[in-house]
């Protein structure tokens, strides 16, 4: 079932070529852009306050990753979210390392009040938000994805657990952050009612391509390049030609 979901969403991305505007941390910008290109989406990265609202308005999804913050970037995030909401564009929050600093946690909690379409974090980050994933999803009308050795997705009512991926995905900086951008592309080609399936499909795609890459890579360096290839090959091929197995 998840394989079929993934194939349908990948075909939609190939057909629609959604633009995803990314306000992401400076460590992962290149990998994030390349993963979006590999899956068939079009990335942009500007955080200039004079143009970020326009970039967001002309996109089909917005990614907000708070890995590296400063006052200018915070201003850009607020402007971008406002633009996304005014234009009915889904925005996705990656609350990076909010379990490390109270100020960062408080900032993430303020952003969540603006009801992101998706909140994607690891178990520590989601736990730091002070409620279980299902309650967090219901209270904020969001899809919550908890990622790790096992991925868990919930909208507060439905839930899905995915046993996909490989340990090497945790040995390359930015795979998780760039993966959230890929989830943004999957959400970009669906309406609000379809975001739960989009997140499940995106995580399945990431996990399976990670497994495929790990079988071919000799270590983390090769893995980083190989997972890009695997995402590209998977997005280019139909499910009958190249199944996600």
Annotated binding residues, written as ranges, equal: 45, 120, 147, 174
Distance from C-alpha of 170 to C-alpha of 173, rounded to nearest angstrom: 7
Going by their DSSP bridges, the two strands 159-162 and 118-122 should be labelled as unpaired
Q: CB under 8 Å to 235, separation ≥6 — which residues? A: 10, 13, 14, 38, 39, 40
Which residues lie below 8 Å from residue 172, measured CB to CB, with a gap of 6+?
Answer: 220, 223, 224, 227
Q: Which residue ranges make up the annotated binding site for ATP?
A: 120, 147
**Which residues make up each annotated binding site for substrate?**
45, 174
In terms of DSSP H, where are the helices of the chain? Answer: 2-16, 29-39, 52-57, 71-86, 102-112, 123-128, 133-140, 175-188, 195-216, 220-236
Q: Which has the closest alpha carbon to 45: 37, 225, 106, 11?
A: 37
User: Could you tell me the CA-to-CA distances from 75 to 72, 80, 102 in Å, in that order?
Assistant: 5, 9, 19
The residue assigned the tokens 């952003």 is: 111
Distance CA 234, CA 241 (A): 9
């Amino acid at each position: 079932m998840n394989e079929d979901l993934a194939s349908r969403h990948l075909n939609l991305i190939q057909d629609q070529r959604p633009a995803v505007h990314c306000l992401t941390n400076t460590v992962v910008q290149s990998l994030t852009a390349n993963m979006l290109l590999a899956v068939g989406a079009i990335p942009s990265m500007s955080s200039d306050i004079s143009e970020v609202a326009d970039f967001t308005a002309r996109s089909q999804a917005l990614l907000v990753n708070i890995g590296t913050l400063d006052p200018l970037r915070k201003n850009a995030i607020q402007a971008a979210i406002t633009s996304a909401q005014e234009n009915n564009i889904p925005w996705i929050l990656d609350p990076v390392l909010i379990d490390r600093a109270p100020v960062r946690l408080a900032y993430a909690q303020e952003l969540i009040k603006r009801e992101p379409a998706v909140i994607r974090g690891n178990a520590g980050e989601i736990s730091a938000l002070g409620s279980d994933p299902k309650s967090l999803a219901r209270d904020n009308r969001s899809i919550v994805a908890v990622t790790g050795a096992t991925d868990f997705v919930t909208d507060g009512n439905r839930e899905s657990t995915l046993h996909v991926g490989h340990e090497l995905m945790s040995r390359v900086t930015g795979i998780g952050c760039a993966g959230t951008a890929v989830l943004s592309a999957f959400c970009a080609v669906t309406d609000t009612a379809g975001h739960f399936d989009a997140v499940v499909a995106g995580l399945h795609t990431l996990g399976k391509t990670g497994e495929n890459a790990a079988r071919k890579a000799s270590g983390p360096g090769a893995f980083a390049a190989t997972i890009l290839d695997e995402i590209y090959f998977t997005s280019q091929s139909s499910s009958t030609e190249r199944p996600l197995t």
